[in-house]
Amino acid sequence: MLIKGTEVELKFNHRFYKNIVKGYKSKDTDGFSNFINGLIQKDPDALIAGYKFGLIGKKITDDEVADALEDSGIFDKDNPYKDLYKKVVKSGFLKAKIQLMKKNAEEDYQTIKELLNKASLKKDEKEALENQFKMTEQQYLKQKKAMEELAK
């Protein structure tokens, strides 16, 4: 990747993970989860973050990375999110972290589903849980499908 006239190397590994967890976090979510969810949602900021934290060597600003991505035409490609995802999962460590994210999402989904099936809930509690389940189910299924699409 060429940034400000200098060829820079990208590497997606544990160091990338450590840096993106801290550098791309939000109030409630770690940076790696934000990054993967951003790729799923096709958020250009996720591309910028992924490339920024994947760079080896000197610190580069978001604007410098965004300019380099723009200059190289990455934003104009058919599916740059899938391309970056494929680079990330080449790392066994990062692939394992993504599999753990999937497993945790599946477990959360199943837990709420099991709670719904318990007869001991009061009517209003059950309705609230059903609403939460519907939202969780939609989000889970959407994320699962998007992750499968990225992996193709």
Number of independent structural domains in the chain? 1
pLDDT > 80? residue 126: no
- Distance from C-alpha of 80 to C-alpha of 42, rounded to nearest angstrom: 9
Predicted model pTM: 0.82
Residue 54: closest CA among 96, 97, 84: 84
- Distance from C-alpha of 122 to C-alpha of 135, rounded to nearest angstrom: 20
**What percentage of the chain carries pLDDT values higher than 90?**
61
| Residue 89 neighbours by CB distance under 10 Å | 17
Q: Which domain holds residue 134?
A: 2-151
pLDDT in tens, 29-68: 999 999 999 999 999 999 999 999 999 987 899 999 999 9
